Amino acid sequence: MMLRYILLIAAFIGLMAVFSMGLQRDPGELPSTYLDKQAPRVDLPALKNPEERLDNARLRGQQSLVNVWATWCVGCREEHPFLMALAARDVIPIYGINWRDQRDDALRWLDQYGDPYVISGFDGDGRTGIDWGVYGAPETFLIDADGTVLHKHLGPLTDAIWQRDFVPLLAGGAAAP
């Protein structure tokens, strides 16, 4: 009889544990379907010089970041200083996908706040965004030298997140800055 009560209480505690774990997860955050797969296709005219293109060839040869941003996106404004700092450290090339934006607004933004991107592709109609499974800017993908997606982060990037989620995956390992 005693055993039955102990089992009941154990089951209750177990259930509470599952619930409290569930509460701490953000249901809005979905893992990228491309993790450990080749990055989706991208072939966009550059924001600044439309003659240039952001394509998959650029994302090979060394690790790179692909940052999906827009001028209407509050989180992008928030993470911008971090991207600038990261670009200044010259750790990894950062490519931008300017998602569903107006070209003039985007150019003005880069003028005003600085341009951390090697090149930003202009995805005005958002089709490349869909191909990448983007559903909320900012999103940041870490792409390996062979073009596979190592990690995706949803939301503004900060130094803490960078250190925790990205640095261990860098080619130099945790030793990299």
Partner 1 sequence: MKKFVAIANLLLLSVPAAAIDTDKAFEDPELQARYEHIIEEVRCLKCQNQSIRDSNAFLAADLRREIRRMLDDGMTDAEIYDFLVERYGEFALYRPRASGKTLILWLAPGLLLLAGLVTLVMVLRRRMAMPIDSDGS
In the complex, the residues that contact partner 1 under the rule CB under 8 A are: 27-28, 30-31, 33, 40, 100, 125-127, 129-133, 135-136
- Distance of closest approach, residue 32 Cβ to partner 1, in angstroms: 8
Q: 98: which residues sit within 8 A by CB, 6+ positions away? A: 47, 69, 70, 106, 120, 121, 122, 123
Distances from the Cα of 96 to the Cα of 2, 12, 74, 160, 175, angstroms = 63, 48, 16, 21, 26
Which 8-state DSSP code applies to residue 165? I
In whole angstroms, how close is the CB of 47 to partner 1 at the nearest point?
A: 19
Q: Which is nearer to partner 1, 99 or 162 (CB)?
A: 99
Q: Which is nearer to partner 1, 92 or 154 (CB)?
A: 154
Our CB check for partner 1 shows the closer of 73 and 157 to be: 73
Residues 126/69, Cβ–Cβ less than 8 Å: no
Work out how close the CB of 90 gets to partner 1 at its nearest, in angstroms, rounded to a whole number. Answer: 32
Cα distance between residue 15 and residue 21, in whole Å: 10
Q: Which class for 52: exposed (0-12), middle (13-18), buried (19 or more C-beta within 10 A)?
A: middle
Query: In angstroms, what is the minimal distance from the CB of 136 to partner 1?
Result: 6
Which residue, 28 or 173, is less far from partner 1 as judged by CB? Answer: 28
